[in-house]
Amino acid sequence: MKATLYLLPLCLLACSPENEEVQEQHVQVAPPAEALDSITDTGKDALRTDENEIAPVVPLPQPVMQLLAAQYQGWERPEIAANAQQQAEEHPGTPAMAHGDFNGDNRADVALQLRQGDELIIVAAVQQQDGKYELVELKRDILFNERGNLKSLYYLYRLPQGEQIQNAHNMNEIELPHDAFVLGVGQQKSVYIYQNGGFINYEMKVQE
């Protein structure tokens, strides 16, 4: 079932370690119609099927593991808070990561949550060539301390290619040309769309 996103501009920029710009804008979305047991090394990536789906739960590719080890020494998968898991239940896959073809080149990409010390880091690994990934940092936050246990309050899920988007200024309706992903915390959600070599961040509001 397709949702409609209404785009409202907001001038707020963020930068990744590769100096990729992440622009944040406002969006409204209509109401949308467990998790990795382990992350293992593999040289294979997820495969796209005829239904334009990518398997929601797969190991991270070896090149991504190597990039993460180099840029985020000692990183680990964060524990997801119960509330975030509940918010993500209606979406396939794990709230810790989202798989999709985010840059529209028919290669599988991934967005995921990392824990490094008491920090939560959201990154995307974009496959620019076969087996060649670019790591883009999108957000940092402090992990929630729940009675001495550090947990993430965030969840991720994919928005599929073909999702209906309507620009609130000119009312032109388009379809997402490729997959995007949503980062949520509580009822607040942002969608990250890859355009012109970087991710644009739109804030989303659920219509009552």
Predicted confidence (pLDDT) per residue in 118-175, tens digit: 999 999 999 999 999 999 999 999 999 999 999 999 999 999 998 876 544 455 566 7
In the chain, which ranges are continuous DSSP H helix? 62-71, 82-88
How does the average pLDDT of the chain come out, rounded? 76
Instruction: Compare 93 and 51 and report the one with higher pLDDT.
Output: 93
69 has a pLDDT exceeding 50: yes
pLDDT band at 32 (very low <50, low <70, confident <90, very high): very low
pLDDT band at 26 (very low <50, low <70, confident <90, very high): very low
pLDDT at 202: 80
**C-alpha dihedral sign at 115, 118, 123, 129:** negative
pLDDT band at 46 (very low <50, low <70, confident <90, very high): very low
pLDDT at 175: 78
177 has a pLDDT exceeding 80: yes
Q: What is the mean pLDDT of residues 99-126?
A: 97
pLDDT at 187: 87
- Between CA 184 and CA 6 the distance in angstroms is 17
123-156 burial, b for 16+ CB within 10 Å, e for fewer? Answer: bbbbbeeeeebbbbbbbeeebbeeeeebbbbbbb
pLDDT at 14: 37
- Between CA 88 and CA 98 the distance in angstroms is 11
Q: Copy the structure tokens of residue 171.
A: 């009312």
> Would you call 172 helix, strand, or coil by DSSP?
coil
pLDDT at 142: 97
pLDDT at 29: 45
pLDDT at 58: 53
pLDDT band at 205 (very low <50, low <70, confident <90, very high): low
